[in-house]
Amino acid sequence: MKMTGVTHIMKRDLLSLQDLSGEEVVDLLELTEQLKQDNYQLNNQLKGKTVALVFQKPSNRTRVSFEVGIFQLGGNCVYLGPTEINLGVRESTADVSKTLSRYLDGIVARTHAHQDVIELAEHSSVPIINGLSDLYHPCQALTDIFSIKEKFGKTEGLTLAYIGDGNNVCNSLLLGCAKVGLNMRIATPPNYEPQKNIIELAEGYAKETNTEITVTNSPQDAVKGADVIYSDVWVSMGQEEESKKRLNDFNGYQINEKLTDLATKDFIFMHCLPAHRGQEVTAEVIDGEHSIVFDQAENRLHTQKAILISLLGEKP
């Protein structure tokens, strides 16, 4: 398969979307589109290379999409769960990183603390890809932006309304949307807003792309006239002890048909999954005609293949 226009556009690691310029994000989106159009054709971009998945959390989409993507690119994948490597417990994160660097060509890390991803990168001689941390989820945000562009043919001038917790997905969307000219409105309960420093960072990018960022406590204000409605779980992995309080605090933030009526006629609904029908979203919305959640899930494969090629692939 001929890969036109592919270059090593990124820095050594992808820890957050701070590591990419707006131009580099656009390049990744174009490569993702090309890979999807090629309809899962195998190629040798990762021939002879081995990538490890160092996962401290359970995973469905991230694990399977990376494993399949690495295979389709001609590479080999090694899965290392918490029973094999418990970062900082059985062995220091630095020692794990230094050791794995001697065997591997790249590492995808799915951790609890973002600091673990940073430490892996600091001591690794091979690229580190953040497959999810408590602060950022860059692969998901890149997938989401690609999915929006796929549906609308553009990102500039559109408005995404994110309703829910100001979590890792929200943080990465903030940075990604600001870099590609996609307006973002965030509605959270009081005290669940994204971190102030991340909002300020995104606002800096937004000035360059003439993008609007709004943070509010009103789901109605966020959704009114929006082109995209985005939801995520109210209780993430590791927050189970807060479940009762969170469910109470997020009362009124459910995505339902009454709320979606405020959006544009052709709005799309997005969710990074897993979803809890009846909590953050009703079954009518997530299973309805406006939902693209399984297109999103598929696009993780194509987007992550683009990331792998950009970081690890052979130049054409």
Q: Which of 110, 45, 114 is nearest to 73 (CA)?
A: 45
Q: Which residues are catalytic?
A: 110, 137, 140, 232, 272, 300
Residue 269's SS3 state is strand
Instruction: Give me the residues paired with residue 162 across strands.
Output: 186, 230
**Cβ neighbours for 128, distance < 8 A, ≥ 6 positions apart:** 12, 13, 14, 15, 106, 107, 109, 117, 120, 121
What gap in Å lies between CA 235 and CA 240, rounded to an integer? 7
**Region of residue 5 (phi > 0: left; psi between -120 and 50: alpha; otherwise: beta):** left
Dihedral sign of CA atoms 260, 263, 265, 270 in order: negative
Q: Which of 280, 311, 302 is nearest to 149 (CA)?
A: 302
